[in-house]
């Protein structure tokens, strides 16, 4: 603990976009010399961690410094940090990263007002903040998400019909626009026999009826063998590499990493205007952007790729180059490190 400068709490057991960010970012920050550890459940064993029993040691100042940084990404993590600093009088500075693109509740605004610094993950999320902030776009680990390399990265390895795959990954629910994707596939797949669609993601009990209705619509259209629900897969990375086209049709999103994961895998992307999607994609070069919730626009954006798979291939190559140049994880880590140094009073 004497060498720890930054604590990255994760107060959620199930995997989420925030958790994924921590899992990818912390090892890079450690390699860059940041004394950072995690705290909380739901994180892999390879990450540096402090124990709950170590929280008491935060009363002691770190070696060579006057403060540590508590980097929160959720309301409960902000509240815990406020208690540590303002109630228990521990020598820490509070940093919050905001991804939400919506008006914050009074409670959230209060917590944000107690922060020493605030980061927005996109200009869109920053527009909803009423305090000074710095925009730091998320990055992606381009060694973890990479282009196809082996026979396992092909549609043949998936054992599915057709020559080209289109995919939609994420929790199966109305917010994620899974129904828009399914409707587009029902409209287009009968016209293009070389294409097959895959859907991967968790179905929580409250959304079981939504998922069952989609499967019933697919069965009624006679497309159950060409619109395939994969469920939650242990490793989604090979599926990105097997795709020719990825679709992110969310109606509402915080930031949304899946388009970056797809593009880093050399896959063209069609995404809605939700989250930071429109800040990731170069329309007409790496994919397309459509209004959130607009089924017709989504269907019409998919059509050129179905008709010309070579277009998807060209945009996939462009997407890979775009991500490597503009969304490498090292860029996000460097930007955050600069904020850490400012809070710690260092250059």
pLDDT at 192 over 90: yes
Per-residue pLDDT at 1: 81
**Cα→Cα distances 174→207, 212, 226, Å:** 8, 13, 21
Q: Which of 141-150, 222-231, 252-261, 330-339 has the lowest mean pLDDT?
A: 252-261
Which range scores top for mean pLDDT: 16-20, 142-146, 254-258, 286-290?
286-290
- Predicted confidence band of residue 347 (pLDDT cuts 50, 70, 90): low
- Alpha carbon 228 to its chain centroid, in Å, reads 23
Per-residue pLDDT at 166: 98
Q: What is the mean pLDDT of the chain?
A: 94
Give the closest residue to 40 by CA, choosing from 30, 60, 26, 28: 26
| Contact of 133 with 126, CB cutoff 8 Å | yes
Per-residue pLDDT at 253: 84
pLDDT tens sequence across 164-177: 999 999 999 999 99
CB neighbour class for 1 (10 Å; exposed up to 12, middle 13-18, buried from 19): middle
Hey, what domains does the chain have and what are their CATH numbers? 6-139+328-343 (3.40.50.2000), 151-326 (3.40.50.2000)
Among residues of the chain, what percentage have pLDDT more than 70? Answer: 100
pLDDT tens sequence across 75-126: 999 999 999 999 999 999 999 999 887 889 999 999 999 999 999 988 888 9
Among residues of the chain, what percentage have pLDDT more than 90? Answer: 82
Per-residue pLDDT at 289: 97
- Over residues 179-206, the mean pLDDT reads 96
- Over residues 216-239, the mean pLDDT reads 95
Better-scored residue on pLDDT, 24 or 36: 36
């Amino acid at each position: 603990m004497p060498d720890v400068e930054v604590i990255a709490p994760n107060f959620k057991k199930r995997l989420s976009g925030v958790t994924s960010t921590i899992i990818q970012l912390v090892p890079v920050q450690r390699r860059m010399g940041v004394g950072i550890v995690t705290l909380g459940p739901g994180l892999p064993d390879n990450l540096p961690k402090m124990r709950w029993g170590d929280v008491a040691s935060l009363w002691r100042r770190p070696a060579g410094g006057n403060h540590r940084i508590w980097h929160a990404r959720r309301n409960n993590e902000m509240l815990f940090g406020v208690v540590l600093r303002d109630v228990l009088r521990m020598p820490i500075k509070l940093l919050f990263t905001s991804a939400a693109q919506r008006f914050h509740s009074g409670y959230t605004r209060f917590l944000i007002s107690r922060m020493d610094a605030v980061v927005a993950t996109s200009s869109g999320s920053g527009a909803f903040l009423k305090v000074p902030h710095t925009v730091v776009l998320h990055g992606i680990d381009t060694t973890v998400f990479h282009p196809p390399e082996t026979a396992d990265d092909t549609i043949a390895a998936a054992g599915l019909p057709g020559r080209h795959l289109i995919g939609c990954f994420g929790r199966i629910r109305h917010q994620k626009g899974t129904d828009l994707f399914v409707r587009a596939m029902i409209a287009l797949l009968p016209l293009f026999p070389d294409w097959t669609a895959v859907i991967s993601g968790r179905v929580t009990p409250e959304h079981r009826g939504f998922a069952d209705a989609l499967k019933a619509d697919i069965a009624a259209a006679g497309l159950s063998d060409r619109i395939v629900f994969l469920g939650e897969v242990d490793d989604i990375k090979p599926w990105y590499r097997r795709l020719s086209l990825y679709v992110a049709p969310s109606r509402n999103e915080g930031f949304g990493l899946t388009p970056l994961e797809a593009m880093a895998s050399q896959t063209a992307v069609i995404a809605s205007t939700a989250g930071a999607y429109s800040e990731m994609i170069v329309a007409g070069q790496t994919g397309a952007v459509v209004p959130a919730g607009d089924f017709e626009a989504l269907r019409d954006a998919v059509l050129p790729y179905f008709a010309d798979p070579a277009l998807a291939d060209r945009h996939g190559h462009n997407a890979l180059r775009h991500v490597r140049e503009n969304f490498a994880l090292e860029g996000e880590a460097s930007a955050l490190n600069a904020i850490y140094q400012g809070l710690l009073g260092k250059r």
